Structure formats: C-alpha cells, structure tokens
C-alpha cells in the first residue's frame, strides 16, 4: 500500500456564528441586541430589509445608506455619523457594498487616525490597534461572500484604486444568511453576483494557499453554484436561490482562508478606474480569459492544471458549454468596455494589478503582457 501524502499545516478563520437557511432573518433583531446598545445600521440604496432591525426588540439604531460601491469619502462620512450617534456595534444588511462599508465602519469605529493609515497598497497598511466593534452581516445578494471575510474593499478616488482594509478581527461576530432575502433579485444582479460567487470558489480551489478544508468547500459548491446560476437565468426558483447563497457562503469562507487570484487582482484595479462597474460583473467578464491564461501558463502535470481541466465537464454539465465567457455573454453580461474600462488603459491596469495581494495566490505568475491579453479578451 502506498503511503498517505502528508497534510500541510493550515488554519481556518470563520465568523463567530453562522446561521443559514430560509426564515433565519426573523432571528436578526434578537441577535443584534446581543452585540450592543446602539447599532450603526448600514443598508443598501433602500432600507427595505433593514427596517426589520428597527423594531422594538432590536437595539437602538442609526441608519446609514450605502447607495454604491463604498469609497473613502463615504467611509469617512459613515464613521462621522456612527461616532456622533455614540454607536457601539455595527449591523449591515444588503449586498456586498453595504457589507464592506459596515465592516469597515466596525473596524475603524474605535480607532484613532485616518482609514488611510490602514488601507493596503495606496495607504500606510498599518495594523489596527483598537479592536473592531462587534459586527453582524446579513447579505441580500448571493455573490461576494463578504459576510464571511476579514477585509473590506474600499475605493480610493484620488488613487483610482480599490484596496482592502484588512484585519483578522474584522470577521463578523454573526453572519446570518437567509436565502429568502435574495428571492426575485433582478436578473442582471443575479447574473453578476452569481458569477462572482462561482469565481470565488474557483479561485481558492486553484490557489497556491488552498487547504483541505477550503478544497472541501469549493468541491461541494462548484457544481451546485453553476447549476443554480444556470437555473436562475431561466426562471425564479427558491431551491436555486438557496444553492447560490450557499455557494456564496462557501466562497467567502474559502477566499478568507486560501486567497483568490488574477481575476480579483485585476478587478480591484478596474473598480478604481471604472467606479460604477459592479464588482461581480467585472469578475464574470474576467473569469473565462483568466482560466484560459492560467491553463496555458501552467505545467499540465501540476495539481492546478488538473483542476482547471476538471472545470470543463462541470461547466458543460451545468451551463451546456465549457466556455463560461461565451455563456455569460449570451446571458447578457456586459464586457469590460461597456462597464467603463477604456481600451487605452489596459497596460496601466495590468501593471498596477501586479501589486494586488490577490495576485500572490494565483496558481502561476502571469506577466503584464498576459494580463493585457486577458483584459483585451474581456472587453
């Protein structure tokens, strides 16, 4: 009998409590009350779902809208409002943008100084000194997995970049995922966020930092997420909503522990250059060309190359084609040019992406010209 292969040492970080399932949102007010006495409540463009957290059995709340992808001015305004109200905990109910803003407010609420002291790449990247405030995340889209992660992505307009505020203590105290909150999400949002969810189980699965636990999450979620997304492009289906929400949870846990790759390395730069572009749509446009580039650059004998080859039958079985880029275009996903990236910016975008933290986990180093070719294919 052949000896068993060694198991590398690894760690695994997750929210203090994860609640998943239809109907769990009913528990949100009572759970919120365990976090503090006055909550700063971040919601999306409208407070539709957040209103349930303003009931008598919930803590006192100060509501704040996050109408777009969060940037430094919005974060500073939110911090001013939270501090002025005397908030001692943070709740976020919404898509990935609202969750990231809430997470960043929780991280900085007890801090002194500026967020720029702690932002990566364009800031000083200093560690947080004061512990973040207690934070609860309730997603209303299935895609970013932000309710599971230890970083918040913030746009910095003066640098034309999206970068992370990151600390191990930023993981939510409570992550409540009720797939019913995603029911009847608009088709374009479902497509973009669903492709983000799928990308975030593909990239950790291929990552140089993959672990046995992240592999298990990704292997379970990949075919389920692909099939759910394909179904939701045809009809509204609660079971598919549940499966896509679970895929997002698995992707969030996987990326928090294994990292991402070139898709997200490029997406952070594109988000700064085209701030109105939905993050999920950018990732959806990039995942096909990145997979092709990785497959061409990898030694076929490597584990990552074998895993990319395994993706073909998974995609064919769920989508009817192994070409996820063509499938996404046929489903209505815009290319990067339509999302606001100028063809004149391809080289600078690729060069800046080489500095992104996500690039360090990509299964193979891609040179700048290869990244330019990826961007051109995604236009």
Give the least confident one: 153-162, 244-253, 335-344. 153-162
Tell me what pLDDT residue 8 has.
84
Higher-confidence residue: 286 or 158?
286
**Residue 57 confidence (pLDDT):** 66
The percent of residues in the chain predicted with pLDDT above 70, rounded, is: 99
Question: What is the average per-residue pLDDT within 7-20?
Answer: 94
Q: Name beta bridge partners: 161.
A: 156
For 102, the token pair is: 């809430």
What pLDDT does 195 receive?
Answer: 97
Question: What is the arrangement of strands in the sheet containing 174-177, beginning at the earlier edge strand?
Answer: 17-20, 174-177, 135-139, 89-94, 38-43, 60-65
**53, pLDDT greater than 90:** no
CB crowding 68-92: b at 16 or more within 10 Å, else e: ebbbbebbeebbeebeebebbbbbb
Q: Would you say 261 and 364 are in contact if contact means Cβ atoms under 8 Å apart?
A: no
Distance of alpha carbon 253 from alpha carbon 259, whole angstroms: 10
pLDDT at 56: 62
- Average pLDDT, stretch 228-238? 98
What CA–CA distance (Å, rounded) separates 227 from 120?
Answer: 36
Q: Where does 259-298 have alpha helices with state H?
A: 262-273, 279-297
Mean pLDDT is lowest, of 31-40, 54-63, 109-118, for: 54-63
Q: What is the C-alpha separation between 204 and 148, in angstroms, rounded?
A: 14
Average pLDDT, the chain: 94
Q: For the whole model, what pTM was predicted?
A: 0.94
Cα 236 from Cα 35, distance rounded (Å): 35
**pLDDT score at 2:** 77
Confidence check: pLDDT of 101 > 80: yes
DSSP element (H, E) containing 244? helix 238-258
Mean pLDDT over 325-352 rounds to 96
Residue closest to 76 by CA, chosen among 157, 145, 146, 8: 157
């Amino acid at each position: 009998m052949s000896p068993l292969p060694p198991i590398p040492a690894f760690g695994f970080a997750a929210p203090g409590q994860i609640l998943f399932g239809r109907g769990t949102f009913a528990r949100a007010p009572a759970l919120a009350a365990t976090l503090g006495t006055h909550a700063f409540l971040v919601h999306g463009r409208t407070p539709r779902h957040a209103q349930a957290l303003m009931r008598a059995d919930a803590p006192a709340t100060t509501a704040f809208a996050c109408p777009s992808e969060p940037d430094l001015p919005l974060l500073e305004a939110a911090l001013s409002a939270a501090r002025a109200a005397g908030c001692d905990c943070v709740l976020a109910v919404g898509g990935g943008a609202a969750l990231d803003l809430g997470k960043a407010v929780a991280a900085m609420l007890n801090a002194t100084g500026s967020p720029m002291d702690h932002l990566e790449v364009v800031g000083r990247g200093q560690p947080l000194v004061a512990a973040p405030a207690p934070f609860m995340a309730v997603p209303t889209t299935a895609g970013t997995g932000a309710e599971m992660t230890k970083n918040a992505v913030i746009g910095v307009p003066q640098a034309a970049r999206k970068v992370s505020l990151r600390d191990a203590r930023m993981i939510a105290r409570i992550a409540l995922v009720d797939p019913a909150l995603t029911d009847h999400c608009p088709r374009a949002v479902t497509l973009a966020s669903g492709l983000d969810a799928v990308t975030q189980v593909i990239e950790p699965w291929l990552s140089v930092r993959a672990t046995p636990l992240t592999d298990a999450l990704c292997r379970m979620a990949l075919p389920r997420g692909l099939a759910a997304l394909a179904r939701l492009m045809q009809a509204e289906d609660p079971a598919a909503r549940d499966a896509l929400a679970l895929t997002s949870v698995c992707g969030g846990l996987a990326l928090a522990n294994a990292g991402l790759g070139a898709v997200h390395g490029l997406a952070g730069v594109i988000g700064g250059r085209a701030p109105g572009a939905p993050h999920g749509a950018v990732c959806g446009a990039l995942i096909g060309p990145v997979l092709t580039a990785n497959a061409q650059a990898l030694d076929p004998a490597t584990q990552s190359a074998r895993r990319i080859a395994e993706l073909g039958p998974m995609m064919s079985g769920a989508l009817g084609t192994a070409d996820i880029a063509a499938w996404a275009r046929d489903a209505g996903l815009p290319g990067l040019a339509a999302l606001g990236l100028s063809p004149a910016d391809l080289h600078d975008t690729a060069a800046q992406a080489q500095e992104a933290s996500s690039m360090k986990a990509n299964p193979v180093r891609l040179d700048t010209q290869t990244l330019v070719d990826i961007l051109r294919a995604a236009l």
